[in-house]
Amino acid sequence: MRAGIEILYEDNHVLAVNKAPGMLVQSDITGDICLADMVKEYLKKTYNKPGNVFTGVVHRIDRPVSGVVLFAKTGKALERLNQMFKDRTISKMYWAVVKNKPNPPQATLVHYLIKDSKTNKSKAYPDPLPNTKRSELHYELLCQSQHYYLLQITPITGRHHQIRAQLAAIGCPIKGDIKYGFDRPNPDASIHLHARSITFMHPVKKTELTITANPPKETVWNALTL
């Protein structure tokens, strides 16, 4: 833990952080402190850099979600990583804690999502409708406790609130996610969705890199993952 952030990986080109639930990746209208600013401050202090420090935000995860977030430390790395996301050559894997057991225990889900900007929510439909976008993910049941089930999820597409909406559509809302049907919020307003790992080709070294983040130290996560 450095400068209040958990750094998972760093070299001259990229930096990966384990984002805590509740933290913004980039600033928004709330004006709350964000992860990008904390990374910039860390780089400035650690390497004694004067003036503005380059911090390229490669991708974002939702505020109530925890896990791996990747930053670029150079413009060249940012450009190449952005292209990888565009080409879908970067793969991400998530863990989710849900209240109901999925049936079957593993499957590939295909839904058609439409985003409501007013509510900042996506609705999943089983068949294509006007303005919907095809969304696909694979899930697998890893284990269960007395009350909850731990799923491993690999998104194939990258849609707004895709995992949250698709799991809710099969009757498996994520713990704490009242926006998508869970019956009560978590005390800290987080949801039990965690960006567990990201795998990509290093933008400069050209070697495959997998970065993994542990979930928050919390009772339910501990019961299912320790």
Domains of the chain: which residue ranges?
Answer: 6-225
Q: How confident is the model at residue 2, as a pLDDT?
A: 58
pLDDT value at 106 more than 90: yes
Q: How confident is the model at residue 174, as a pLDDT?
A: 98
Beta strand segments in 73-207, E: 91-98, 106-116, 121-125, 133-144, 149-155, 193-201
Per 3-state DSSP, the chain is made up of helix, strand and coil in percentages (nearest 5) of: 20, 35, 45
pLDDT value at 141 more than 70: yes
Q: How confident is the model at residue 139, as a pLDDT?
A: 98
Alpha carbon 101 to chain centroid distance? 22
**Which 3 state secondary structure label does DSSP give 51?**
coil
Decide if 84 contacts 200 (C-beta within 8 A). yes
* Domain 6-225 CATH assignment equals 3.40.50.150: no
Between residues 27 and 107, the one the model is more confident about: 107
